[in-house]
Structure 1
Amino acid sequence: MRLRLSRRFATRATASTAHTSSGSHGLALARNEVVARYGEDPLRSEVERLRWRDHFALNEYVLDIPGLHPEHDGLRVAQLSDIHVGQATSDVRIRRAVAAVNASAPDLIFLTGDYVTHSPKPLPRVREVLSGLAGPVFVVLGNHDHWVNAPYIREGFERLGYTVLQNEHRVVHVRGAPATVLGIDDGRTGRDDVEATFRGAPTTGTRLVLAHTPPTVEKLPPYAGLVQFSGHTHGGQFVVRGLTEKLFRRAGQPYIRGHYAVRGNQLYVNQGLGFGFGGPYLRRGTEPEVAFFTLRAAPALQPVA
């Protein structure tokens, strides 16, 4: 069980400090510096570079998954998390991220919560800036969404044709085989119900879990070949070595960014697209991220005696 860095999307990339955790490999992160990466840029000229506040990393990984359906060896997944539409995140960055996802043509697209922050004012813009994702899109909600207006956000995504999962699962046929997407509601606000999410779901094959808060992984069935995609932490937001991890552990958030092996399953914690540079919230030691994953079949794991 491991996460392998496959390649990086970057021009004149600046690598940040590699992050490692128990059961994971180092993740080299790169900055997306050129706006016209995928053809003609409708917003700016080809040679003009993004302002610092519009930067984000495009990171590509390989996930080895026990029990993956053979037809899904090579399946591609894209993940966006913690968008925080409003003054914390520029619209240019969000639309650029949507374009980057579509250019990669993933088989599945996951949105893992926190589309707003505290104010309801940006609510109408959520559907606008996150529209146009091409492919099956699955959505879970985060704590900020529940604090602001979760029903409004759910309705907006459903109007776009995206599937919102609140302690629900869906079976989607992709590349000729079924994949089960299990969406657990937000744990920070106490709305997570793992039992309800898994009730009636397939117990074998490709099973991918979405949950905004990383510690939800500890509630999953152990050694089940599951992968959970989460966000919430913004990669630590303002990283001071030693101190940030200590504070997050005290807050019940031991999983900050990157890949973890937990009770025989896997967890990936996205650094989030929002709360980036140039806004009211400082970032240090972590970059806004769009994550891409190629799934590979791996031998089934056995519990350690």
Structure 2
Amino acid sequence: MKLTIASLFMFFFSLACYMLHLAFQVNIKNHSLQIKEMQNGEKLRVFFISDIHRRKIPDTLIKALIGKVDIVIIGGDLTEKGVPLKRTKHNILLLNKLGTVFFVYGNNDREVDVQKFDSILLETGVTILKNDSARIQTGNSIIRLIGIDDGFSGRVKIEEAFQKVKDHDIIIFVSHAPAFFKHAKKIAIPHLLLAGHLHGGQIRLGPFGLYENGEFIEKVNSAELVSNGFGTTGVPLRLGAKSECHIITLHG
């Protein structure tokens, strides 16, 4: 009996250590999307990271990415209640080394002092997209990056976010939660849709999890990416849903 209890203890202890290890892995996923509106040779390399939460971005990740991306998009939940603003600022400054940083709010971001949080974002040169868009040019191609406010706040104004879109713009749509993809597609035809929030269920037993595993789904001249996210929420454990961040290369 004592042997059985000891064996069970060792099994669950080992499993917890393994899940902790998975939660702090650094996995960079590379995706490529050909856009017919872009000319040969034109490209935009997007680094997408979401759901950082309590995690510190390691210097090794930044070193691995320098010179390999053009812009950074943070898909919400950059922070949460209890995370020191100093840590959040440090994470942003690291991401700033990679390129221009854009940010959309997630539900957990509003657990902190929003006024102080916004001040840090603006002070560090981050463009906050709250139902708004930014214009990015690569070669002769105009890319319209659209971001909406956190859907859980009741502040989403999706039609307003698309107001500046012009004919022939290449559209990247960013929402913290993927539930808004369908709303965006009713207004326009985005070439790339980005979201996080679901963590891939975070802890999965085989094919079973609270949510579907993250996935990059390529369609005709477009793609949808739902990321498992970089950090964790609740407990710092993962199983069957690896932490991840992404490089998406749009090209002609």
What is the rounded CA distance, in whole Å, between the counterparts of 1:152 and 1:203 in structure 2?
37
Of 220, 224, 232 in structure 2, the residue corresponding to residue 267 of structure 1 is: 224
Contact 1:71 1:177 in 2 (8 A): no
Aligned ranges for residues 118-133 of structure 1 at < 5 Å? 118-119=81-82, 121-132=83-94, 133=96
The alpha-carbon deviation at position 202 of structure 1 amounts to: 1.9
Residue 160 of structure 1 pairs with residue 115 of structure 2: no
Of 230, 233, 239 in structure 2, the residue corresponding to residue 284 of structure 1 is: 239
The alpha-carbon deviation at position 71 of structure 1 amounts to: 6.5
The alpha-carbon deviation at position 79 of structure 1 amounts to: 0.8
Larger radius of gyration: 2
Of 61, 70, 82 in structure 1, the residue corresponding to residue 31 of structure 2 is: 61
Q: Measured at CA, do residues 100 and 150 of structure 1 come closer, stay the same or move farther in structure 2, by a change above 3 Å?
A: farther
The alpha-carbon deviation at position 239 of structure 1 amounts to: 1.4
What is the rounded CA distance, in whole Å, between the counterparts of 2:158 and 2:145 in structure 1?
13
Q: Measured at CA, do residues 265 and 218 of structure 1 come closer, stay the same or move farther in structure 2, by a change above 3 Å?
A: farther
2:89 is paired with a residue whose SS is helix
Give the match for residue 229 of structure 1: 194
Greater CA deviation, 51-60 or 255-264?
255-264
1:99 is paired with a residue whose SS is helix
Residue 172 of structure 1 pairs with residue 136 of structure 2: yes
What is the rounded CA distance, in whole Å, between the counterparts of 1:114 and 1:217 in structure 2?
18
Cα shift readout 1:119-145 (whole Å, capped 9, x = no counterpart): 2x4223211122042312111110000
Q: 5+ residue gaps in structure 2?
A: 1-20
Residue identity matched to 2:116: Y
What is the rounded CA distance, in whole Å, between the counterparts of 1:294 and 1:168 in structure 2?
23
Residue 296 of structure 1 pairs with residue 251 of structure 2: yes
The alpha-carbon deviation at position 184 of structure 1 amounts to: 1.0
* Matched length: 229
Residue identity matched to 1:285: G
Contact 1:95 1:129 in 2 (8 A): no
Structure 1 vs Structure 2 CA RMSD:
2.7
What is the rounded CA distance, in whole Å, between the counterparts of 1:199 and 1:72 in structure 2?
29
Contact 1:57 1:288 in 2 (8 A): yes
Sequence identity percentage: 24
Q: 5+ residue gaps in structure 1?
A: 1-50, 249-254, 298-305
Q: TM-score under structure 1 normalisation?
A: 0.66
2:150 is paired with a residue whose SS is coil
Cα shift readout 1:58-116 (whole Å, capped 9, x = no counterpart): 11111234x5432674321111111113xxx2x3x443333333242x12211111011
Contact 1:97 1:290 in 2 (8 A): no
Contact 1:224 1:264 in 2 (8 A): no
Of 174, 187, 193 in structure 1, the residue corresponding to residue 157 of structure 2 is: 193
Give the match for residue 50 of structure 2: 81
Contact 2:171 2:189 in 1 (8 A): no
2:93 is paired with a residue whose SS is coil
1:292 is paired with a residue whose SS is strand
1:221 is paired with a residue whose SS is helix
Higher relative contact order (CA 8 A, sep 6+): 2
